[in-house]
C-alpha cells in the first residue's frame, strides 16, 4: 500500500444547519468482500439521522481490519481496501475508505480505531466549520449490525473499559437484522441506551461476506449481490479460490462478518492488552 494519508476529500467542509451536532459514521469490519449491505447500512443510517435526530452527517468511513486479525476467509488487506474503494468510487459522494487500521501490523481494537478518527477530525482538523466561521467538534460514532450489540451484551466478550469507551464516549448506530433479539441485547446495556440508536431495516437484506465467499466456493454467481467493480476485481485477482477447494457447501443461517461482530474473542483479548 501507499504511504498512509488520512482521506478527507469527501468530508463536508461546512455544516448546513449549525443548530445540529455534526456526526461522522465509522464502519469497522473485514469486508472480505464488501457487499451492498455494507454500503446500504450507511444510507439507512443517514436517513435515520436526518429524520429522527439532531445530528447532521458530515461523512462516512469504511475501516477494513488489518491482516493481523487472522480471521478465516480474510483475504489480504490490500485486496480488501481496493475492493472497498472500487465499491464507493462512483457510487457515493460522501463515503471514504481509511487504511490506517488495515495497514497496522497489529490488530487494533475498535475503541482505538474510533480514537484515531477522533484525533484526525477533532484534534488535527479541529472539527467542522459552521456558517458563522466557528468550528464545532464532531461526534464520532460506530456503525454496525445488530449482532455487534449482541456480543457487547454478553459478559466477558468485550473488555468493560472498551465498552465504556465505545458506547459511552462515541456511541453507536445499529442496523437491525433478522434473527437477532436486539431488545434483549439492549437490556444489559441500559447505561449506554441514550448513545445507542437502533435503525430498522425496512427491506430485509441478509447478504453477508460469508455467504458471498460460499457462493464463490461453489462456483455460483455473485452478480447483483456485490458491486460490479468488486465482482470484476475478484475475478481478475482470483480471490477466494482457496475456499473453492475446501469441502464445505452449506450456506450459513446468519452473518457473522459485518462490522466486527466475529471479533468477540479477539476483541476481548486485544482490548485487555
**Neighbour count for residue 47 (Cβ, 10 Å):** 13
Phi-psi category of residue 115: left, alpha or beta, with phi > 0 → left and psi -120 to 50 → alpha: alpha
Domain boundaries, the chain: 21-271
Average pLDDT of the chain?
Answer: 88
Check if the beta carbon of residue 208 is closer than 8 Å to that of residue 256.
Answer: yes
d(CA 102, CA 23): 23
d(CA 193, CA 219): 44
* Beta strand residue intervals within 30-149, DSSP E: 55-64, 95-97, 128-129, 135-136, 139-145
Over residues 172-184, mean pLDDT: 85
Q: What is the pLDDT of residues 64-91, one digit of tens each?
A: 999 999 888 899 999 999 999 999 999 9
- Give the bridge partners for 59, in sequence order: 24
Predicted confidence (pLDDT) at residue 35 exceeds the cutoff of 80: yes
CA proximity to 266, closest of 110, 51, 56, 32? 110
pLDDT score of 244: 56
Residue 185 vs residue 252, higher pLDDT = 185
pLDDT score of 148: 87
Least confident segment among 99-103, 132-136, 253-257: 253-257
Asked whether the whole model's pTM tops 0.85, one would answer yes
Q: What is the CATH number of domain 21-271?
A: 3.40.50.620
Amino acid at each position: 500500500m501507499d504511504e498512509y494519508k488520512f482521506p478527507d476529500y469527501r468530508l463536508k467542509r461546512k455544516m448546513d444547519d449549525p443548530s445540529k451536532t455534526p456526526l461522522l459514521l465509522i464502519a469497522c469490519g473485514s469486508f472480505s468482500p464488501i457487499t451492498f449491505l455494507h454500503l446500504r447500512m450507511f444510507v439507512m443510517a443517514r436517513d435515520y439521522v436526518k429524520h429522527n435526530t439532531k445530528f447532521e452527517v458530515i461523512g462516512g468511513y469504511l475501516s477494513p481490519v488489518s491482516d493481523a486479525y487472522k480471521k478465516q476467509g480474510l483475504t489480504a488487506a490490500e485486496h480488501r481496501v481496493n475492493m472497498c474503494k472500487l465499491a464507493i468510487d462512483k457510487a457515493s459522494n460522501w463515503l471514504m475508505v481509511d487504511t490506517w487500521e488495515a495497514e497496522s501490523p497489529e490488530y487494533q481494537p475498535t475503541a482505538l480505531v474510533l480514537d484515531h478518527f477522533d484525533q484526525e477530525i477533532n484534534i488535527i482538523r479541529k472539527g467542522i466549520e459552521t456558517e458563522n466561521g466557528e468550528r464545532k467538534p464532531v461526534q464520532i460514532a460506530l456503525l454496525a449490525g445488530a449482532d455487534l450489540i449482541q456480543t457487547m451484551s454478553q459478559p466477558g466478550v468485550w473488555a468493560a473499559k472498551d465498552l465504556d469507551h465505545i458506547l459511552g464516549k462515541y456511541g453507536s448506530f445499529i442496523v437491525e437484522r433478522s434473527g437477532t433479539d436486539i431488545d434483549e441485547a439492549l437490556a444489559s446495556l441500559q447505561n449506554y441506551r441514550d448513545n445507542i440508536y437502533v435503525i430498522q431495516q425496512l427491506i430485509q437484506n441478509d447478504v453477508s461476506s460469508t455467504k458471498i465467499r460460499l457462493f464463490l466456493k461453489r462456483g455460483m454467481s455473485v452478480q447483483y449481490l456485490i458491486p460490479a467493480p468488486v465482482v470484476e476485481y475478484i475475478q481478475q485477482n482470483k480471490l477466494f479460490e482457496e475456499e473453492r477447494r475446501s469441502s464445505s457447501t452449506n450456506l450459513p443461517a446468519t452473518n457473522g462478518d459485518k462490522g466486527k461482530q466475529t471479533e468477540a474473542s479477539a476483541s476481548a483479548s486485544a482490548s485487555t492488552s
